[in-house]
Structure 1
Amino acid sequence: MAAQLAVEVHGNGDPVLLVHGLGGTSNVFGPQVGVLSRFFQCIRPDLPGSGRSPADGPLSIAGLADAVEGVMDERGLDRVHLVGHSLGTIVCQHVAARRPNRVRSLALIGPLHAPPDAARPVIRDRVAKARAEGMVGIADAIVQAGTSADTKANRPEVAALVREILMRQDPEGYARTCEALAAAEPADVARIACPTLLVTGDEDGTAPPTAVRALHRKIAGSSLRILDRCGHWTTFERPAEVNEALVNFLFSVD
C-alpha cells in the first residue's frame, strides 16, 4: 500500500513521521514542517483515500497503520518520532502499541482514543452524505463545528483553508475513511512505553479536554497541553504554540 502513497520529505536528521486525520492531507502539517525540518527529517504522507493517495478497497485503522509502517519500511527507518492529528492519532497509537520498538516518541494533536459511541452514527451518516452529495455540505459543517470562535471571527483565512482542504477530498476516499473511523477500536495504550505528548484545544469538540485528560491518564508518563481559543484544526489555528510544543518535546527525547 505504501508504494501508492504520495509522500513528501523535508530536511535531515532524526525522522519525524507526520500522520494527518480525517478530511486532512499532509498539508495539515504545513505550518510545522518549516520549523521542524530545520532540525529533523519530516516525512508526511497522504494516507490512502486522502489527498493525492488513492484508496484501493475498503479502509480500516489496521490498514492505515500498515500504510504508516510501510512508509517506514520503504525508507529504511527502524525507528521514528510519530506525530498524529485527529484520526491520525488513533493510527499512531496502534503503531506505537503493536511496534513499540519502532517508535521513539508519540505526539498526539487533537487526540482520540477511539470515537465515542454517540459519535459513530454521526460519522456513518457522513459516509452516505459524501457519496450522495459530495464534500461541500460536509466542509461547511466541519468548519462551523470544528474551528474555534476566535478562528471564525478573527482568522477567516484559516477557516477558508480548512474548507478548501475538505472540499478537495475525493468523496469516495473520504467516505471510506469515515467507515474506518466509525469502526475504530482503541489501541492498547498500556503497551505504549515511549515519551508521549498530548495537545488539544480548549474549544475542541472532537477531542475535548476532558476526554484528552482521560487518555493522558491511560498513557504512562505522558504530558498534556491545552491551547487557548483553539478548536480541532489545531495545527492551523495555533501553529506557533503547536510548533513550540513539538520542538521542545522532540528535543527532550533521548
Structure 2
Amino acid sequence: MAQHLAVEVHGAGDPVILIHGLGGTSNVFTPQVGALSRFFQCVRFDLPGSGRSAITDDVSISGFVDAVVAVLDSRGIERAHVVGHSLGTVVCQHLAIRQPERVRSLSLIGPLHAPPEAARPALRDRAAKARADGMVGIADAVVQGGTSADTKANRPEVAAFVREILMRQDPEGYARTCEALAAAEPADVARIACPTLLITGDEDGTAPPPAVRALASKIPGSNLRILDRCGHWTTFERPAAVNEALVNFLFSVA
C-alpha cells in the first residue's frame, strides 16, 4: 500500500509519524515539522483519498490504520511516536489498540473518540454535497465554523490556507473520508498503555474541551492541554503552543 501514498521524511532520530484529519493533508503538520525534525525523524503522509494519495478500495478507519502500518513497514520502523489531528486521532487510538507494540506514545490534537450520533448524518450529507457540488462551499463552511474568532479577525492567512487545503481535495476522496468518519466506532481507549497527550482549543467546536476532557479521563495517565483563542485547526492557529507541548512531551517520554 505504501507505494500508493504520498510520504515525506524529515530529520533524523527517534521516529514520529504524523496523521492528518478530514480535509487535511500532511501539510497540516508543516509548522510542527520545522521544530520536531531538529530532534526526531518526522514521517508524514497523505491518507488514502486525501491530498496527493490515491483513493483505495478501503477508505475506512481500518484501512487508514493499515496505511499507517504500511508506512512504518516501508521505512523499517518498528516503533514510533504517533501524532494525529482530528480524524487522525481516531486512527491513532485504533492503532494503539490493534498494534500497541508499534506505538511509543500518542499525541492527539483536536481529538475525537468517535463522532456523536447527531454528527454522523451531517457527515454523510457533506459527502453527498462534495460529490454533487465540489469543495468550494464546504471549504467556506469549514473556515467559518472550524477556526477561532481571533484567527478569522487577526490571522486571515491561516483562514486562507485552510480554505485552500480543502479546495484542493478530490471531491470523491473527501466524500469517502467523510463516510469513513461517519462510520467510525470508538476505540477501547482504557486499553491504551502508552504515554498520551491531548491538545485542543478553547473554541474548537469539533473537539470541545468538555468532550476532550472526558476522553482524557478514559485514557490512563494521559495529559490534557487547552489552548486559548484556538479553533479546530490547532496546528495552524497556535503553532508555537503546539510545538512547545509536543517537544516537551516527546522528550519526556523518549
TM-score (norm 1): 0.99
State the shift of 1:64 in Å.
Answer: 0.4
| Residue 208 (structure 2) pairs with residue 201 (structure 1) | no
Q: What pairs up with 1:164-203 in 2 under 5 angstroms? A: 164-203=164-203
CA distance in 2, matches of 1:92, 1:66: 11
State the shift of 1:56 in Å.
Answer: 1.7
CA distance in 1, matches of 2:120, 2:2: 28
| Residue 56 (structure 2) pairs with residue 56 (structure 1) | yes
Equivalent in the alignment of 2:26: 26
Structure 1 unaligned spans of 5+ = none
CA distance in 2, matches of 1:186, 1:60: 13
Equivalent in the alignment of 1:139: 139
Q: Percent identity?
A: 81
| Residue 61 (structure 2) pairs with residue 72 (structure 1) | no
Q: Is the 8 A contact 1:58 1:176 kept in 2?
A: no
Equivalent in the alignment of 1:231: 231
Q: Residue 67 of structure 1 aligns to which amino acid in structure 2?
A: A
TM-score (norm 2): 0.99
Q: What SS does the aligned partner of 1:232 have?
A: coil
CA distance in 1, matches of 2:177, 2:163: 18
Equivalences, count: 254
Q: Residue 63 of structure 1 aligns to which amino acid in structure 2?
A: G
Q: What pairs up with 1:4-153 in 2 under 5 angstroms? A: 4-153=4-153
State the shift of 1:188 in Å.
Answer: 1.2
Q: What SS does the aligned partner of 1:59 have?
A: coil
Structure 2 unaligned spans of 5+ = none
Q: What SS does the aligned partner of 2:216 have?
A: helix
Q: Residue 72 of structure 2 aligns to which amino acid in structure 1?
A: M
CA distance in 2, matches of 1:216, 1:183: 22
The runs of at least 4 aligned residues of structure 1 exceeding 4 Å deviation read none
Deviations 1:183-228 (A, max 9, x none): 0001111221000000000000000000000000000000000000
Q: What SS does the aligned partner of 2:179 have?
A: helix
State the shift of 1:71 in Å.
Answer: 0.4
Cα RMSD over matched residues?
Answer: 0.6
State the shift of 1:57 in Å.
Answer: 2.2
Q: Residue 123 of structure 1 aligns to which amino acid in structure 2?
A: L
